[in-house]
């Protein structure tokens, strides 16, 4: 590590500590040439995550877009902010574990809907109605009937909408 004061490469680490809940390491260093001390931080390089939109274009993953959609669906429900953040973390974790570091929005929407269905059925229906873009009342009613009979949400409804 080069000294920021005298530009010498002869430095030593005098102290190391975890910061940011273990996400980074803070190192105190001392220059062996000029004797001055300075701090460096070491973090894991995070590769950019991408989302494949329905039209095939790729965008950078944006937590705030998912948060806005889920928050709107969860208004006036018992879903907490912490639970919303857990869903967003699940989506981000899923994308990070994908070898290409990208997922189609259809998969992201399904992850969110599965999580919302377990937390709050009203929030699930609100999110699904926007995400799946129900074109008619019959498709919407079919989804509600599946939900009321304790079945998993219908992927047929989503597939039928995607084909239209």
- In this structure, which long-range contacts are made by residues 135-141, counting pairs with CB atoms below 8 Å and at least 24 apart in sequence? 135/161, 135/164
Backbone angles phi, psi at 37, to 5 degrees: -110, 150
Asked if residue 162 has pLDDT above 50, the reply is no
The pLDDT of 72-82, averaged and rounded, is: 93
The answer to whether residue 156 scores a pLDDT higher than 50 is: no
Average pLDDT, the chain: 86
Residue 151: the pLDDT is: 54
Show the CA angle centred on residue 75, arms to residues 95 and 88, nearest 5°: 10
Higher pLDDT, 154 or 138: 138
* 3 Cβ contact partners less than 8 Å away, ≥ 6 residues apart: 9, 10, 11, 31, 33, 34, 36, 38
CB atoms within 10 A of CB 121: 15
Q: For residues 94 and 50, is the Cβ–Cβ distance under 8 A?
A: no
Instruction: Tell me what percent of the residues of the chain surpass a pLDDT of 70.
Output: 91
pLDDT, one tens digit per residue, over 110-124 is: 999 999 989 998 898
Q: Please name every residue paired with 41 in a beta bridge, in sequence order, or none if there are none.
A: 26
Placement of tokens 């919407």 in the chain: 140
Over residues 95-119, the mean pLDDT reads: 91
Look at residue 140 and tell me whether its pLDDT is greater than 80: no
């Amino acid at each position: 590590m080069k000294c920021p004061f005298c530009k010498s490469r002869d430095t030593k680490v005098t102290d190391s500590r975890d910061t940011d809940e273990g996400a980074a390491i803070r190192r105190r260093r001392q220059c062996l040439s000029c004797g001055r001390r300075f701090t460096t931080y070491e973090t894991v390089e995070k590769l950019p995550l991408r989302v494949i939109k329905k039209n095939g274009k790729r965008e950078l993953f944006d937590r705030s877009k998912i948060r806005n959609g889920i928050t709107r669906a969860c208004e006036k429900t018992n879903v907490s902010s912490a639970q919303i953040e857990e869903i967003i973390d699940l989506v981000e974790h899923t994308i990070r574990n994908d070898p290409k570091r990208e997922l189609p929005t259809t998969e992201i929407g399904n992850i969110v809907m599965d999580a919302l269905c377990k937390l709050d059925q009203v929030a699930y229906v609100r999110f699904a109605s926007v995400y799946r873009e129900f074109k008619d009342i019959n498709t919407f009613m079919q989804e509600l009937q599946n939900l009321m009979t304790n079945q998993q949400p219908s992927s047929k409804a989503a597939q039928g909408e995607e084909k239209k």
